[in-house]
């Protein structure tokens, strides 16, 4: 077998393993096999590439080894972050992925240009190169911005930033990048080509920033998914440039995953892609009914605990507030105390609760709550009219009944968890400010709703303590 | 624009510079389309419980860019700055490979069934 065929065979096996890796993610019981198969695929891919490079006469092996070691040294601590920081870590690694693709594309272009390699700069390859650097660098800066927003860095605005003519400016810059790209495809060896290339690079970097500026925290799950798809597609483009099937297949798997997650997130917010990307959402709606100040009823953890102790079914609706307060372990204590008293406890998980897809599930799994009790929105909504208590922990928009009734609300039409159908509603909230999307929540003013103001961790801990205390006497 | 499309279509001939496999442009498109459909079908079956680990797993998978990075970094006659770009790309991809797979496994270990729950 020729060395070339051996490399391709290794790539083929790696592709199969990557597909199985995703296939095994369909079930929590087989999911860990998916990780092992992914690791095996990656090892084969790297081994195959090195074999190919060695047999065709490569060089710089010590440097490559050093880059591997440095990457592992940075990657290892990044895998140890607390689970509440997983959205930031994910955004950061999208940034690394985008940068890698962008840099490889840049390297290839200047290599071919320096060699005046007309064959290697065939139009379709330059087209792929343009897509690779556009997606790569856009993903790089966009993901860094997203990670900064998620980490709540002071110098990155949290609220969506909008200015007049925003979409016109973005569109203008995009047209300019497109024109430069077309010019490069037609004249890749022109004297001005390196300059044009660099300009496309700069524009792509700028796009990443401009695309994320107008996006608010509530849209983060969608944006992270879209950036995930872009990172995958930039790998696909690299595959076209380098004539490499493994890059195309693995990139396409990543791209389709990002695409599906984006669609699920958009559906869960009743919004379209374009609306997320171009329709800034989340400016505080100054209460139109300015005159009448509505009043909350608040309650103490003591009496809330008493009511919960007598319930048959308690549905807990967690949201980003639970993640911020790191309250998941206290929630587990509450869950245990209620279970001990024979109360059925279920968790209602909205697809966009938190800052990335599946965020709540991971946090609750960390607190060792069995995943059988984590119930998807569509399933739990059937149970809510029978629930005695709905306990909302740091969630807001995903339980806002305005989504069903108020046509003027920005979240109108978004599927929600029907917490308002439970007999009694307790809502734990950090402050009296509206949620991240800045929208008033009718749920809090209902007759059956009682607010428990305070840090989620403290309040839930107090609820658990009350239940435990009563049991002890 | 028609010129461009024509130019792209004509450029489907033997491109040897990548050196890895004889793959023409249309062949590559076929591979891309099929892989996308397989991806869409596999991902649709992923449990919603696991969307966060799924994203960190696909993150690690997209670090397959390391393949391209190695090819660029190991190039013999490349100028120093091209090699440097390749090495930085290897560094970035390795970071994603290591942290992506490790954190995915760390999260998946936490998902437990209720004790005595029916299958």
Burial class (CB in 10 A: 0-12, 13-18, 19+), A82: exposed
Q: What is the pLDDT of residues A89-124, one digit of tens each?
A: 999 999 999 999 999 999 999 999 999 888 889 899
Instruction: Assess B36–A contact: CB distance below 8 Å, yes or no.
Output: yes
Q: What length does chain B have?
A: 119
Per the CB < 8 Å rule, is B107 touching A365? yes
**pLDDT value for A155:** 78
Q: Helices A193-212 & A123-150, crossing angle to 10 degrees?
A: 30
Per the CB < 8 Å rule, is A108 touching B62? no
Q: Give the C-alpha separation, A402 to A423, whole Å.
A: 19
Q: What is the pLDDT of residues A338-381, one digit of tens each?
A: 999 999 999 999 998 888 899 999 999 999 999 999 999 999 99
Per the CB < 8 Å rule, is A257 touching B47? no
Which among B35, B49, B39 has a CA at the least distance from the CA of A260?
B39
**pLDDT value for B117:** 57
**pLDDT value for A120:** 87
**pLDDT value for A470:** 60
Is residue A394 over pLDDT 70? yes
Segment 50-109 of chain B within 8 Å of chain A by CB: 50-79, 81-83, 85-109
**pLDDT value for A337:** 94
Which among B112, B17, B60 has a CA at the least distance from the CA of A129?
B17
Within 8 A of B104 by CB-CB distance, chain A residues are 35, 38
**pLDDT value for A152:** 84
- Number of Cβ within 10 Å of residue A277's Cβ equals 19
Q: Give the C-alpha separation, A378 to A351, whole Å.
A: 10
**pLDDT value for A289:** 40
Is residue A290 over pLDDT 70? no
Per the CB < 8 Å rule, is B79 touching A110? yes
* Residue A429 tokens, joined: 């909230």
Which among B10, B50, B87, B62 has a CA at the least distance from the CA of A45?
B62
Higher per-residue pLDDT: B93 or A470 = B93
Is residue A204 over pLDDT 50? yes
Non-local (6+) Cβ contacts of A289 within 8 A are none
Q: Give the C-alpha separation, A472 to B13, whole Å.
A: 80
CB-nearest to B112 from A114, A182, A371 is A371
Which helix (H) or strand (E) segment holds residue A425: the answer is strand A424-429
* Residue A263 tokens, joined: 């669609």
A299 part of the active site: no
Judge contact between A457 and A330, C-beta under 8 A.
Answer: yes
Token pair 């740091």 is found at A394
> Percentage of chain A surpassing pLDDT 90?
65
Is residue A288 over pLDDT 50? no
Within 8 A of A124 by CB-CB distance, chain B residues are 8-9, 11-12, 25
SS3 A127: helix
Is residue B8 over pLDDT 80? no
> Which DSSP category does A436 fall into?
T
**pLDDT value for A282:** 42
> Distance from B110 to chain A by nearest Cα, in Å?
5
> Percentage of chain A surpassing pLDDT 70?
93
**pLDDT value for A224:** 92
Looking at the domain that runs over A301-472, which CATH code has it been given? Answer: 3.40.50.1220
- What's the whole-number mean pLDDT along residues A62-91? 94
Judge contact between A150 and A220, C-beta under 8 A.
Answer: yes
Is residue A438 over pLDDT 70? no
> Distance from B76 to chain A by nearest Cα, in Å?
5
Mean pLDDT of chain A: 89
Q: Which of A254, A373, A378, A397 is catalytic?
A: A397
Interface mutation target, options B7, B14, B92, chain A, most CBs of A under 10 Å: B92
**pLDDT value for A440:** 76
Q: What length does chain A have?
A: 473
- What's the whole-number mean pLDDT along residues B28-40? 95
* Residue A118 tokens, joined: 């007309």
**pLDDT value for A53:** 92
Within 8 A of B68 by CB-CB distance, chain A residues are 101, 104, 235, 238-239, 241-242, 244, 247
Q: Helices B65-73 & A220-242, crossing angle to 10 degrees?
A: 40
- What's the whole-number mean pLDDT along residues A428-455? 78
- Which residue does chain A place closest to B82, by CA atoms? A107
Q: Taken in order B65, A69, A149, A168, is the CA torsion positive or negative?
A: negative
Q: How far is CA B52 from CA A278, A328, B31, B48, B106, in A?
A: 25, 16, 27, 9, 12
Within 8 A of B2 by CB-CB distance, chain A residues are none
> Distance from A14 to chain B by nearest Cα, in Å?
10
**pLDDT value for A313:** 95
Q: How far is CA A295 from CA A291, A299, A300, A442, A443, in A?
A: 13, 13, 16, 11, 12
Instruction: Assess A294–B contact: CB distance below 8 Å, yes or no.
Output: no
- What's the whole-number mean pLDDT along residues B37-57? 94
Q: How confident is the model at residue A430 (pLDDT cuts 50, 70, 90)?
A: confident
Within 8 A of B38 by CB-CB distance, chain A residues are 19, 253
Largest separation between any pair of C-alpha atoms in chain B: 67
- Number of Cβ within 10 Å of residue A344's Cβ equals 16
What is the ipTM metric for this complex? 0.89
Non-local (6+) Cβ contacts of A20 within 8 A are A34, A37
Non-local (6+) Cβ contacts of B72 within 8 A are A104, A107, A108, A111, B78, B82, B83, B85, B86, B89
Instruction: Assess B112–A contact: CB distance below 8 Å, yes or no.
Output: yes
**pLDDT value for A214:** 83
Q: How confident is the model at residue A159 (pLDDT cuts 50, 70, 90)?
A: confident
Higher per-residue pLDDT: B14 or A70 = A70
Per the CB < 8 Å rule, is A261 touching B64? no
**pLDDT value for A202:** 96
* Residue B105 tokens, joined: 């496994």
| Whole-structure pTM value | 0.88
Within 8 A of B77 by CB-CB distance, chain A residues are 115
Within 8 A of B64 by CB-CB distance, chain A residues are 42, 45, 235, 246-247, 250-251
- Which residue does chain A place closest to B104, by CA atoms? A35
- What's the whole-number mean pLDDT along residues A305-332? 92
Q: How many CA atoms lie within 13 A of A312 on its CB side?
A: 7
- What's the whole-number mean pLDDT along residues A393-405? 89
Which among A288, A42, A380, A364 has a CA at the least distance from the CA of B59?
A42
* Location of each CATH 3.40.50.1220 domain in chain A: 301-472
């Amino acid at each position: 077998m020729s060395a070339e065929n051996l490399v391709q065979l290794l790539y083929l096996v790696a592709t199969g393993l990557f597909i199985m890796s995703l296939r095994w993610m369909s079930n929590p019981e087989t999911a860990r096999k998916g990780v092992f198969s992914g690791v095996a695929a990656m090892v084969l891919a790297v081994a195959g590439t090195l074999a190919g490079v060695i047999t065709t006469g490569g060089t710089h092996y010590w440097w490559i080894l050093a880059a591997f070691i440095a990457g592992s040294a940075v990657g290892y601590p990044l895998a140890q972050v607390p689970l509440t920081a997983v959205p930031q870590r994910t955004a950061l690694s999208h940034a690394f992925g985008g940068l890698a693709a962008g840099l490889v594309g840049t390297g290839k272009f200047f290599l071919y240009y320096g060699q005046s390699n007309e064959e290697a700069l065939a139009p379709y390859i330059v087209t792929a190169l343009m897509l690779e650097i556009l997606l790569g660098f856009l993903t790089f800066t966009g993901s860094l911005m997203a990670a900064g927003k998620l980490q709540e860095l002071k110098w990155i605005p949290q609220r969506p930033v909008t200015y007049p003519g925003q979409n016109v400016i973005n569109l203008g810059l995009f047209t300019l990048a497109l024109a430069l790209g077309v010019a490069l495809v037609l004249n890749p060896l022109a004297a001005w080509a390196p300059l044009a290339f660099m300009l496309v690079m700069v524009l792509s970097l700028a796009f990443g920033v401009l695309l994320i500026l107008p996006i608010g925290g509530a849209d983060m799950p969608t944006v992270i998914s879209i950036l995930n798809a872009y990172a995958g597609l930039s790998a696909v483009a690299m595959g076209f440039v380098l004539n490499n099937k493994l890059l195309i297949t693995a990139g396409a798997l990543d791209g389709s995953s990002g695409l599906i997650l984006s669609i699920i997130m958009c559906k869960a917010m009743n919004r379209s892609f374009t609306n997320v990307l171009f329709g800034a959402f989340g400016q505080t709606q100054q209460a139109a009914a300015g005159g009448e100040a509505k009043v909350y009823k608040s309650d103490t953890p003591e009496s809330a605990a008493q009511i919960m102790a007598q319930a048959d079914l308690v549905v807990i609706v967690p949201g980003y507030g639970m993640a911020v307060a790191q309250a998941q372990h206290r929630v587990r204590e509450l869950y245990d105390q209620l279970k001990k008293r024979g109360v059925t406890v279920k968790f209602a998980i909205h697809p966009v609760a938190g800052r990335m897809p599946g965020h709540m599930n991971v946090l609750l799994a960390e607190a060792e709550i069995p995943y059988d009790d984590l119930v998807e929105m569509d399933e739990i909504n059937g149970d809510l009219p029978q629930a005695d208590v709905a306990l909302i922990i740091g969630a807001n928009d995903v339980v806002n009944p305005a989504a069903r009734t108020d046509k003027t609300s920005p979240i109108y039409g978004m599927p929600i968890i029907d917490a308002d159908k439970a007999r009694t509603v307790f809502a734990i909230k950090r402050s009296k400010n509206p949620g991240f999307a800045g929208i008033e929540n009718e749920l809090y003013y209902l007759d059956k709703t009682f607010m428990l103001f305070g840090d989620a961790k403290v309040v839930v801990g107090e609820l658990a303590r009350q239940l435990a205390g009563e049991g002890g006497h | 624009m028609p010129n461009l499309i024509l130019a792209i279509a004509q450029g489907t001939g033997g491109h040897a510079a990548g050196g890895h496999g004889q793959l023409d442009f249309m062949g590559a498109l076929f591979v891309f389309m099929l892989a996308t459909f397989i991806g869409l079908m596999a991902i649709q079956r992923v449990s919603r419980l696991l969307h966060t680990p799924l994203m960190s797993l696909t993150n690690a998978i997209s670090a397959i860019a390391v393949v391209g990075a190695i090819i660029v970094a190991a190039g013999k006659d490349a100028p120093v700055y091209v090699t440097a770009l390749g090495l930085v790309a290897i560094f970035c991809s390795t970071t994603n490979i290591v942290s992506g797979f490790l954190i995915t496994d760390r999260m998946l270990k936490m998902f437990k069934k209720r004790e005595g729950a029916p299958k």
